[in-house]
Structure 1
Amino acid sequence: MLEVANLRAGYGPIEVLRGIDLTVAAGEIVALLGSNGAGKSTLNNNISGLYRPFEGTIRFDGKDITGTSSTQIVEAGLVQVPEGRRVFPNLTVRDNLELGSYRRGKPARAQNLERVLTTFPRLRERLRQAAGTLSGGEQQMLAIGRGLMAEPRLLILDEPSLGLSPLLVEEMFALIGRLNADGLAILLVEQNVMQSLTIAHRAYVLENGRIALQGKAAELAEHPGLRKSYLGH
């Protein structure tokens, strides 16, 4: 579904990604793991069309989308939920959700809204509230709900557990598992290594702009180098 080949990218003269190869198949959860500054968001932003790579190709559904505008990429069904939630604080929860279907999913807006509110009952209770008054966990639900309004075929989740309490982190990962069980392909970009590996099918570990490890998630969870780097044992 998504194929990234020999991707080199960065900002101005600074190269951040140094030849990345990565794939996501239909129906998969693929985790992209790495510490802060490893280049995860740079990769997301190039896949989503916010930046143009220096070299390499990005294909979605067999079509070359390298350097295509972010608008066209969303219209194709590749949707990113950005790090930091980025909700519109002064708009209501309903308005935030409906903005998700601005480029894609407009004809089925009412059905999609109902589906999102069934997935996130807490948002139904707060439809008329300003998004800025929600808790951090509720804002993360709203950001994901807004992404779902665009009827994604592949959803990129950038650090969905960041800043959440341990209990909400559990809830968030359970939700990601349920979305995938309904058939949605997900690229999960996370610092939370071990929890990501429990729900992902496959994973890539990004270090200093290169893929340091890749493989089945269950096997990587037992990898001694990974455990040492991220768990200290």
Structure 2
Amino acid sequence: MSALLEVEGLRSGYGPVEVLHGVDLTVNAGEIVVLLGSNGAGKSTLNNTLCGLCRRREGTVRFDGQDLTGRHYRDVVRAGLIQVPEGRRVFPNLSVRENLELGSFARARARRAANLEKVLDIFPRLRERLMQLAGTMSGGEQQMLAIGRGLMAEPRLLILDEPSLGLSPLMVEELFGLILRLHGDGLSILLVEQNVAQSLEIGQRAYVLENGMVRHSGACPDLLASDDVRRAYLGV
């Protein structure tokens, strides 16, 4: 497999506080790579640094051979590295349609109408609620909307930050089925999750982040069988 995202020695943080301490990570084309870690491990900081929302201090970020180190977040989006942030962050006072269309503001604007139809085929519930205000939808529906908005930008790599957070068990099952479907369509995915068991079951490789450093990495079946990972995250 060819490397799509290559991260080397990444350090970043906020103000005087360094959160990431030299992170190395690779996502190959066509992979689901899982990023695990407890609250405060640095997962969201890593995502935001990759996407140009948090200033890196050291290290490099390359995407599809292009150096994105220190680039503006608009350049990152235009390259096709798209994040669906933790907490969904839909625009509550805009309609479902307006939220989706905003996803193509910086990338794939010319194919907005065609991509909207593709997203609505994936999420029939959104088609039923096109004119509904996003803030009046359930948590699961808002998560569909957030992912749909990301897909409107025709991502080369989609970062999903805690997509199952706050969802019912039934919605979680539906979500993981959707991730597999997107992967089956050829989309590369960086899945950032605390739902360890299900994430490792659908991913190819995984990294475990602790205190801003990669403590474990490897094939998902190997990490699922690791005593250290099982004790720390599965309670067994």
Give the letter aligned to residue 183 of structure 1.
G
- The one-letter amino acid paired with 1:98 is E
CA shift digits 1:123-160 (9 cap, x unpaired)? 00000100001000000000000000000000000000
- Aligned 8 A contact 1:123 1:138 in 2: yes
Matches of 1:3 and 1:88, distance apart in 2: 32
The answer for the alignment partner of 1:131 in structure 2 is 134
CA-to-partner distance for each residue in 1:97-137, whole Å, 9 max, x for gaps?
00100001111111100110010010000001000010000
- Kindly state the Cα deviation for residue 63 of structure 1 after the two structures are TM-superposed: 1.3
| Partner AA of 1:10 in structure 2 | G
Return the alpha-carbon distance in structure 2 between the equivalents of residues 68 and 231 of structure 1: 38
Alignment counterpart, residue 96 of structure 1, candidates 96, 99, 102: 99
**What is the CA distance between 1:232 and its match in structure 2?**
1.4
Q: What residue is the counterpart of 2:175 in the other structure? A: 172
User: Does residue 18 of structure 2 align to residue 32 of structure 1?
Assistant: no
- The percentage of aligned residue pairs carrying the same residue is 70
Output the CA distance in 2 between the equivalents of 1:63 and 1:189.
Answer: 23
> Quick one: which amino acid aligns to residue 49 of structure 1?
G
Corresponding position: 1:58 with 2:61: yes
Is 1:86 paired with 2:86?
no
Partner of 2:143, secondary structure, is helix
CA deviation map 1:22-62 (0-9, x unaligned): 00011100000001100000000000001121100000011
Report SS of the residue matched to 1:54.
strand
**CA RMSD of the aligned region, Å?**
0.6
The 8 Å contact of residues 51 and 67 in structure 1, kept in 2 or not, is answered as no
Task: Please identify runs of 4+ aligned residues in structure 1 that moved more than 6 A.
Answer: none
What's the counterpart of residue 206 of structure 1? 209
* Aligned match for 1:161, one of 154, 164, 189: 164
**1:186 maps to which residue?**
189
Unaligned runs of 5+ in 2: none
What code does the residue aligned with 2:7 have? V
Q: Corresponding residue for 1:111?
A: 114
Structure 1 gap segments, 5+ residues each: none
Aligned residue for 2:173, secondary structure, equals: helix
Q: How many residues align?
A: 233
Given that residues 92 and 131 in structure 1 are in contact (C-alpha distance below 8 angstroms), is that contact kept between their aligned partners in structure 2? yes
Q: Distance in 2 between matches of 1:168 and 1:227?
A: 24
Partners in 2 of 1:231 and 1:158 — Cα distance?
A: 20
Look up the SS of the partner of 1:127 in the other structure. coil
**Distance of 1:35 and 1:193 partners within structure 2:** 10
Q: Distance in 1 between matches of 2:95 and 2:70?
A: 33
Using structure 2 for the length normalisation, give the TM-score.
0.98
Contact persistence 1:52–1:66 (CA under 8 A) = no
